[in-house]
Amino acid sequence: MSSAKERLEDLPPSAKLVYKTLEFEGECTQKELVKETRLSSRTVRYAISRLEEKELVEQRVSFRDARQKLYSLAE
């Protein structure tokens, strides 16, 4: 499989920003990503979906609030 850097190359700038935010901040909810990146919710959702397609981001359910998903970089 190709490296994360190679898989990031053809993604939109918003996806790269979300990736870098997760790299710097660690695990975040979508709401936290919106706040940190200053992107719209819709744009963050799109960026996350593109990152998941490339297997760069993983999601899990938050233990504090099962309605929320936590996103982190894939290992």
Q: Take residue 12 and report the two structure tokens written for it.
A: 């939109």
Tell me which amino acid residue 51 is: L
> How far apart, in whole angstroms, are the C-alpha atoms of residue 23 and residue 7?
15
> How far apart, in whole angstroms, are the C-alpha atoms of residue 66 and residue 45?
18
Task: Identify the CATH number of the domain in which residue 52 sits.
Answer: 1.10.10.10
Structural domain containing residue 16:
4-73
Asked if residues 51 and 18 have their Cβ atoms less than 8 Å apart, the reply is: yes
Name the band, by pLDDT with cuts 50, 70 and 90, for residue 2: confident
Residue 1 has pLDDT above 60, yes or no: no
- What pLDDT was estimated at residue 4? 83
Name the band, by pLDDT with cuts 50, 70 and 90, for residue 3: confident
Q: How many domains does the chain have?
A: 1
> How far apart, in whole angstroms, are the C-alpha atoms of residue 40 and residue 64?
24
Whole-structure pTM value: 0.91
pLDDT in tens, 18-66: 999 999 999 999 999 999 999 999 999 999 999 999 999 999 998 988 9
